[in-house]
Amino acid sequence: MHKNVYLSGSILTSGERRKLERLNTIMEAHFLTTHLPHRDIETQFLDSKSRDEMFKFTVKAIEECDMFVAVINNNGLNLSNTCWELGYAYAHKKPIFCLHEGEFDINQWGQLMLMNSSVVCHNVEELKEQLDLTLQKISASS
């Protein structure tokens, strides 16, 4: 079963980009086709950087994905792009997984919202297990 995953997260630093790209490599090697916004949008719109076109491309990618994965770091809840993408995926009833390798503070509103709208994973192995379980459920219902 081949499924499409939208992979979101901060790309403000080279370390954050590398983390997303390592996760992307693991996911593609394991079982999934991925949409990685900073890679795919840069490739798609190399000559034409129309913001409207990039927005439409992102919206379509979320609408067409089978699962949504967000990498959230301690500052990640303040990133408007990732939060918007998460909300859009939730509104479209996509299975959502958040990789957060730190501790959640359930007293923070944004973290409370994530905990109730997604499967929160604390490491890559846990994320892979949860994705496998979801793929099995999707396969069983098909």
pLDDT score at 59: 92
Q: What is the mean pLDDT of each run of 10 residues along the chain (142 residues)?
A: 82 79 83 73 58 83 92 64 89 92 62 79 90 83 74
Burial class (CB in 10 A: 0-12, 13-18, 19+), 116: exposed
Q: Considering the entire predicted model, what is its pTM?
A: 0.81
Q: Is the CB of residue 76 less than 8 Å from the CB of residue 82?
A: yes
pLDDT score at 68: 94
pLDDT score at 31: 66
Q: Which residues pair with 98 in a beta bridge?
A: 70, 120
Strands 32-35 and 3-9 come out as parallel
- Classify 106 in phi/psi space as left (phi over 0), alpha (psi -120 to 50) or beta: alpha
In whole angstroms, give the CA distance from residue 107 to residue 20. Answer: 27
Amino acid at 115: M
How far is CA 7 from each of CA 10, 59, 83, 106, 141, rounded to the nearest angstrom?
Answer: 10, 13, 13, 24, 24
- What element of type H or E holds 36? none
Domain extents in the chain: 18-69+79-141
